């Protein structure tokens, strides 16, 4: 089955772990008025009905914030929201500059460290993100959000033991935090502790019965354990909770795949080439670890090459006997020897 929007290895937990920024606290009524105007534009950008309108409002908000800055505004209550808007606009370097200026004004403000974490994570500079969140931990060691963010960052860095320590601490500080439980479930899934991950995802559903991601991941993990009937029920519930067209499409594909498996159907993909030498070259590349689907797109002359050679689900009699018998003789994931079919040559891989 296709793993779309299931366990997201690059999930982000970059919500601010400080208090929301509010107010103006600037020096003159004129500057305060500029800041309030910028805040109105920013709020209207969030409620915009089109991407074009949102971009226009965002540009107006930033332009007005810059005027306020030129007029003397310099409080973190102005600098941080302004920096966040620059992050949204894609100007990460300007955002970092503003966050650093905010940090110089007030080095104890957690929201500034959260913003710097977001900015450097966007740039792929994981070490810098860790640095700023670790600094926030020194300021607020009992802040569950800080610990949760550290758990996420260390998980991204591959430091699983350190990540687990931070996640456990986050849960000790806030046992009812669904996001912390989801990250723990991700940690368990990456370690192939599937049964334990399922327990934790079910805990997330208890805490937040409308959490789409948790429902979807339970369904996916159950399907991986061949508990197909239960997986279908979880997918059905996920569909009732989501309005995202892409996710709904993915759910339908997964449910279709489960029903096909339950009906005894097989699924495979193939690479069809015109010479035995080419087929052997492709087989050698697969043996060396290259991806079957990518090789199909590059080498196969079949009409479904751009789809990785996927044959979809099929039952007895749906395929020519040569293909059907070859797939039946393969284990899941196994690639066949070179098969001669007419004037062509083929490699098959069983997918379920």
Please check the confidence at residue 5 and state whether its pLDDT lies above 50. Answer: no
pLDDT, residue 169, reads 97
3-state SS, the chain, equals CCCCCCCCCCCCCCCCCCCCCCCCCCCCHHHHHHHHHHHHHHHHHHCCCCHHHHHHHHHHHHHHHHHHHHCCCCCHHHHHHHHHHHHHHCCHHHHHHHHHHHHHHCCCCHHHHHHHHHHHHHCCCHHHHHHHHHHHHHHCCCCHHHHHHHHHHHHHCCCHHHHHHHHHHHHHHCCCCHHHHHHHHHHHHHCCCHHHHHHHHHHHHHHCCCCHHHHHHHHHHHHHCCCHHHHHHHHHHHHHHCCCHHHHHHHHHHHHHHHHHHCCCEEEEEEEECCHHHHHHHHHHHHCCCCHHHHHHHHCCCCCHHHCCEEEEECCCCCCHHHHHHHHCCCCCCECCCEEECCEEEEEEECC
The 10s digit of each residue's pLDDT in 33-48 is: 999 999 999 999 888 8
Please check the confidence at residue 22 and state whether its pLDDT lies above 80. Answer: no
pTM, to two decimals: 0.74
Please check the confidence at residue 20 and state whether its pLDDT lies above 50. Answer: yes
Please check the confidence at residue 189 and state whether its pLDDT lies above 50. Answer: yes
Task: Report the chain's mean pLDDT, rounded to a whole number.
Answer: 89
Map out the domains of the chain with their CATH numbers: 266-350 (3.10.50.40)
**Which stretch of 103-112, 173-182, 244-253, 261-270 has the lowest confidence by average pLDDT?**
261-270
Please check the confidence at residue 8 and state whether its pLDDT lies above 70. Answer: no
pLDDT, residue 314, reads 85
């Amino acid at each position: 089955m296709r793993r779309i929007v299931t366990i997201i290895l690059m999930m982000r937990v970059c919500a601010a772990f400080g208090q929301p920024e509010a107010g103006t606290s600037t020096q003159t009524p004129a500057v305060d008025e500029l800041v309030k105007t910028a805040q109105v534009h920013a709020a209207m950008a969030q409620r915009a009905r089109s991407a074009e309108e949102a971009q226009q409002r965002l540009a107006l908000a930033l332009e007005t914030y810059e005027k306020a800055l030129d007029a003397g505004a310099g409080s973190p209550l102005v600098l941080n929201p302004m920096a966040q808007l620059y992050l949204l606009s894609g100007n990460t370097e300007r955002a970092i500059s503003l966050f650093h200026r905010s940090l110089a004004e007030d080095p104890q403000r957690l929201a500034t460290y959260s913003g710097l974490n977001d900015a450097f994570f966007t740039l792929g500079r994981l070490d810098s993100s860790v640095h700023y969140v670790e600094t926030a931990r020194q300021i607020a060691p009992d802040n569950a959000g800080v610990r949760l963010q550290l758990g996420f960052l260390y998980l991204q860095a591959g430091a699983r033991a350190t990540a687990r320590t931070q996640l456990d601490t986050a849960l000790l500080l806030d046992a009812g935090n669904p996001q912390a439980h989801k990250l723990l479930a991700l940690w368990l899934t990456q370690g192939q502790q599937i049964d334990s991950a399922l327990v934790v995802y079910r805990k997330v559903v208890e805490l937040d019965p409308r959490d789409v991601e948790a429902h979807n991941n339970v369904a996916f993990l159950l399907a991986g354990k061949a508990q197909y009937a239960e997986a279908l029920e979880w997918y059905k519930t996920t569909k009732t909770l989501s309005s995202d067209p892409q996710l709904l499409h993915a759910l339908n594909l997964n449910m279709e795949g489960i029903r096909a498996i339950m009906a005894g159907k097989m699924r495979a993909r193939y690479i069809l080439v015109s010479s035995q030498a080419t087929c052997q070259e492709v087989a050698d590349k697969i043996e060396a670890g290259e991806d079957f689907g990518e090789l199909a797109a590059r080498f196969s002359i079949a009409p479904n090459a751009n789809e990785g050679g996927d044959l979809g689900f099929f039952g007895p009699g749906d395929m020519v006997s040569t293909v059907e018998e070859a797939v039946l003789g393969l284990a899941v994931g196994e690639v066949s020897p070179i098969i001669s079919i007419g004037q062509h040559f083929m490699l098959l891989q069983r997918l379920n």
